[in-house]
Amino acid sequence: MWFCNYAGMTNINQSIPDLSAERARIPPFAFVLTTCIGVIGSNSLALGPIAPEVARSLGADVPAVMTASGAFGLGTAASAIFLGRLIDRHGPRRMLAAALILLAVGLGGSAAAPALPLLVAFQLIVGIAAGIALPAIYTLASIIAPAGRESETIGLVLTGWTLSMVAGVPLSAAIADFAGWRTVYIVVAAATLVACAAVRFAPVTEGSRGKQVGGGRATSPLAALGVRGVVPLLSACAAFMAAFYGVYAYIGDHLHAALGLPVSANGLVAVSYGFGFGGAAFLDRLIDRFGAGRLLPRIFLAVAGIYVAMAAANGSYVAILAVVFAWGLANHFGLNVLIMRLTALDPARRGAIMGLNSGVTYLALFAGTVGFGAAYAASGFFVLPLAAAGLMLAAASFAARAPR
């Protein structure tokens, strides 16, 4: 619409919406949603760094402690798939507030857990809450986005993952060192209650992507799968997320075992990825300009190229850091555009569709970690980015088949 060369009056008429879209402000409520992502991400990423301290406190080993992380992931996947549809009936804001209360309860229980089985049980509750909260957050982000700034709004909300990775993980480790691992969960629970209060009372301004605030019909997961475009985009999501989690799970061990670097070197990898992921938010307006429909396959192809570069750079720490920064940048664009495409398919079923998206994401986490783990044990790290590049080619193919 920027290059239309019809008669002068046509140009004037077409320029007016674009100028107003440029002036439209992203609602402050987007920052509330960013914070919600941050507290959920802080829990999902916190257990790894503090696992040795948790194991010592509860009289277990680290692999046993990490079963709590598995319970969180499975709870998130199941909840997102089967309960995300309730967002369409009761409204995303009400469901998000309820999910955050349940999240705080699970975090408080995790802090007080006297034995590992109870920690696993409470992390399952946290996962159930997150499975409702995440699709509600993405649904709200699409609803409040101003015309012409959809990708910028969603991109801002997605920087909550950067917040949890760059700030949440180091802070969790520091708090565990100085005040014990239980304090980590107490702090995150308190932050969750603050976020819940903001969700409940902060004013919300609806944007341009349809008014769907509840009172609709709770669509079954199978019915949501019947929406045209859902299956190819969810297939692309599965390949995209399996590639990411499969590589990310083992890059730290590769640095330690193959390159002889200390475990602390992994922290800089997380920071590099987080800065790339967060920095991409400043470029999100390009998505609105060029169109999400035609960009998604190209973004996935770019991510495939980054994985090939990672395979080539696997012997150099500095080169890996540079590639990981580009990886975070490209993955931000991929996730942003994927969410835009999915939420635009059927506004009346956004909750159910985003529930399926979150469910597929966490199932892909499990499949990618297990499948890439077998490949890593057999052949080393070099093959993992190449396998991920193959998955991204499949993701690009699926995305190209989805209707725009």
Does one domain contain both 29 and 93? yes
Closest to 76 (Cα-Cα) out of 361, 268, 396, 347: 361
Neighbours of 2 (CB within 10 A): 8
Amino acid 61: pLDDT: 85
Helices (H), 258-313: 265-279, 285-290, 292-312
The residue from 168, 185, 218 where one domain ends is 218
* pLDDT score, position 317: 95
179 lies in the same domain as 326: no
Q: How far is 323 from 313, CA to CA, in rounded Å?
A: 8
| Half-sphere exposure of residue 341: CA atoms within 13 angstroms, side-chain side | 31
Three-class SS state of 216? coil
| Calpha distance 124→50 (Å, rounded) | 18
CA-closest candidate to residue 275, choices 166, 150, 137: 166
Query: Which CATH number characterizes residue 67's domain?
Result: 1.20.1250.20
> Of 218, 249, 273, which residue is a domain's last?
218
Query: Cα–Cα distance between 275 and 252 in angstroms, integer?
Result: 17
How many other C-beta atoms lie within 10 A of the C-beta of residue 6? Answer: 9
Distance CA 235, CA 213 (A): 28
Question: Into how many domains does the chain fold?
Answer: 2
Residues 170 and 31 in one domain: yes
Residue span of the structural domain in which 274 resides? 220-404
Angstrom distance (rounded) from CA 349 to CA 339:
14
Query: In this structure, what token pair is assigned to residue 279?
Result: 């920095």
Measure the CA–CA gap between 249 and 256, rounded to whole angstroms: 13
The DSSP code for 166 is: I
| Per-residue pLDDT of the chain in tens (404 residues, 90 and over written 9) | 333 333 333 333 433 344 444 457 889 999 999 999 999 988 887 887 788 889 899 998 877 888 888 889 899 999 999 998 899 889 999 999 999 999 999 999 999 999 999 999 999 999 999 999 999 999 999 899 888 788 889 999 999 988 887 787 778 878 888 899 999 999 999 999 999 999 999 887 765 444 444 445 556 667 788 899 999 999 999 999 999 989 988 888 888 888 988 866 777 888 899 899 998 888 877 776 776 668 999 999 999 999 999 999 999 999 999 999 999 999 999 999 999 999 889 888 888 899 999 999 989 988 888 899 889 989 999 999 999 999 999 999 999 998 87
Whether residues 28 and 132 fall in one domain: yes
Residue 227 shares a structural domain with residue 207? no
Residues 51 and 101 in one domain: yes
**30, 13 contact by CB (below 8 A):** no
- Separation of alpha carbons 349 and 367, rounded Å: 27
The pLDDT tens digits for 206-240 are 654 444 444 455 566 677 888 999 999 999 999 99
pTM of the model: 0.80
Token reading at 57: 């406190």
- CB neighbours of residue 233 within 10 Å: 26
Does residue 167 sit in the same domain as residue 213? Answer: yes
For residue 261, give the amino acid letter. Answer: L
Provide the token pair at 184: 């980590």
Tell whether 231 and 191 lie within a shared domain.
no
